[in-house]
Chain A
């Protein structure tokens, strides 16, 4: 520890190189930070308290296959279930679907149940009443309203694709959500009216609000058991697992995240190793002097390792801070609607990033540091380079 000032001085002697190295590591670590926080929120993080109270019931085959509306009553009777809301993923095309600006999720729901099942949505009471009163009304998330500059009373024309027809919705409410709210809900009655006789009475999924988050696996099992012998079997999962499932339709997300992370880590390792090799090579004579002054090989080893760690941890810190900014941007994008809650600073993710940075520092400088500590004094002093 008492060598810390010396280590820092060493870092600072070739300022340009240190800055470039930190910048290089920082940029890469930023990417790693984004990957890590996505991985964490998809596969490891627990759900937010309000999300833990919700389950999603869908057809076992796929969310593209419908369930009978009549299942609602069966689900409602299962112990532990408080509210059940049926919903259809509506999709549809707003203006031009090729423009990602116009993308936001659209659901046809049981409007009476919406604000009971999604208890965390904040909406003024009068707006809520206006939404419930009118068949062609819709509510939109604050993020949609801000992005597309929509206000109360505006009309949103949407051309149906899964459900054919031209629909027009009137914005009667704008709600706030602790998460990204790139979403619109409207009354399913309106949709049902437009359907052909044969398609009526089928919904895409049920959102279930339960009493006790700790019992959610048991309730989920009970729901699936209920329909085990029916024509349409169900799959009940937590809202978080449901969202990840939705994303995995895009491909093997886990492999993708891990693959990129591995490539990024290896790149950082190379960059850092290269820098340390260069800086040790430049200072061979100086190491000879240090050893003449009585620094033990272990101390020299520590000095070099410490320098590498200091540089890569600095890069790691900067990278992590950049990644939180980037994540905030991702969460605000239309894509953010699929992500679970993302707190600004996730302690395990931050710790992982910094630990990885430190480990990379140590590993990358192991070879030059060992070389420096083993170098005989005479040879070191004789070096001209």
Chain B
């Protein structure tokens, strides 16, 4: 017969200081793991929110990001009239030639950060209807004006309405804040293509093109068409896939985080082991009594094992609570040489990982002490002081 689990609960409550300390140690380990997973998850969510499967990004062959790509105006004419590109309100194809470059943004009380600048024409905005202005107004073509993404504006004082951003040969006034629905756009600065490209002396060589397909089937055909066009010599990927690939920049952070968490977990499981050994030693007489009452060594082992798991589960829950504090906290990483602002995202599945991690940790730490408890001789156990 199994020992009721209430017995273990009570034991944990009786030794509350020790329980709490051990659990807190485990909690910190779990919280560290969760913080890093939430960071990478936030990055992934932000990037995948940026992608629309119908929009297709066209880059120079071999380039893996818009920043290192280049696109000559004459090539664009060949691309623009391909089959399958949707038409805009004015009957023109929804194909946008764009330039992506980097600007420095001064940070109050810190070193400069790099931000992505996207220069586009009216059609570029038309094929991204999800991006809208939340305050201020759009830039005027022909003016030295830009709009900034809302995450950027939120995190940096120097990227708000009325401020000036240095780019190319001068300064540009920020006239509006745009909302791209939680995607990469929220960390970008947008301005007029002709104005910016002439300022940077890149009138002919721009970065990339984005086109919108009429439907999902055509999108696939269009991608194949562009990829196989020898004359164009470009690669096309759906915007969704493009941003999914950019998620790779989070991989090193995640790997380092997991490595750190595993090392911390080894330390914490030793600590849990210590606590459980002490519990076994102190409850020697109790164990003897339980045996006299007829509980088998197996059920004693199970009971102590469960107690260790309960202890670490408590730690796991505390760790999740600690990590929840971070949820929504804005941060940034440099994706592809430019800063990408996003928020930590603690999701239920991440918390489940944290709890599972805690349970494994407690199971490893509890196994040996539980075995020791089960092996105690009844008489010696009863005689212990």
In the bound complex, CA of A128 to CA of B385 (Å) = 78
Tell me whether B25 and A20 are in contact (CB under 8 A): no
Q: Within residues 311 to 357 of chain B, which ones have a CB less than 8 A from any CB in chain A?
A: 331-334, 337-338
- Residues of chain B within 8 A (CB-CB) of A312 are none
- Residues of chain A within 8 A (CB-CB) of B274 are 17, 20-21, 24, 271, 274-275, 278
With known contacts A16-B277, A62-B102, A231-B169, A274–B337 Cβ distance under 8 A: no
Interface of chain B, main secondary structure: helix
Tell me whether B278 and A198 are in contact (CB under 8 A): no
Tell me whether A61 and B62 are in contact (CB under 8 A): no
In the bound complex, CA of A297 to CA of B370 (Å) = 38
Q: Is B253 an interface residue (CB 8 A)?
A: yes
Tell me whether A31 and B260 are in contact (CB under 8 A): yes
Tell me whether A20 and B18 are in contact (CB under 8 A): no
In the bound complex, CA of A335 to CA of B102 (Å) = 25
Tell me whether A274 and B266 are in contact (CB under 8 A): no
Residue from the list A61, A165, A248 in contact with B104, Cβ < 8 A: A61
Tell me whether A250 and B253 are in contact (CB under 8 A): yes
- Interface 9-residue window, one of A4-12, A216-224, A258-266: A258-266
- Residues of chain B within 8 A (CB-CB) of A31 are 260, 263-264, 267
- Residues of chain A within 8 A (CB-CB) of B63 are 161-162, 164
Q: Within residues 270 to 297 of chain A, which ones have a CB less than 8 A from any CB in chain B?
A: 270-271, 273-275, 277-278
In the bound complex, CA of A252 to CA of B278 (Å) = 41
Cβ proximity bits A318-356 to B, threshold 8 Å, 1 near / 0 not: 000000000000000001000000000000000000000
Tell me whether A263 and B31 are in contact (CB under 8 A): yes
Closest A residue to B268 by beta carbon equals A267
Q: Is B205 an interface residue (CB 8 A)?
A: yes
Tell me whether A162 and B68 are in contact (CB under 8 A): yes
Closest A residue to B22 by beta carbon equals A274
With known contacts A161-B62, A263-B264, A278-B278, A251–B21 Cβ distance under 8 A: no
Tell me whether B267 and A267 are in contact (CB under 8 A): yes
With known contacts A17-B277, A260-B260, A267–B204 Cβ distance under 8 A: no
Q: Is B91 an interface residue (CB 8 A)?
A: no
Tell me whether B332 and A274 are in contact (CB under 8 A): no
With known contacts A21-B274, A23-B270, A271–B25 Cβ distance under 8 A: yes
Q: Is B17 an interface residue (CB 8 A)?
A: yes
In the bound complex, CA of A251 to CA of B337 (Å) = 10
Residue from the list B249, B271, B332, B338 in contact with A24, Cβ < 8 A: B271
Cβ proximity bits B49-68 to A, threshold 8 Å, 1 near / 0 not: 00000000000111110011
- 12 new A-B contacts, CB < 8 A, other than A62-B114, A271-B274, A277-B18, are A17-B278, A24-B271, A31-B260, A31-B263, A31-B264, A61-B102, A249-B334, A251-B333, A263-B31, A271-B268, A274-B275, A278-B18
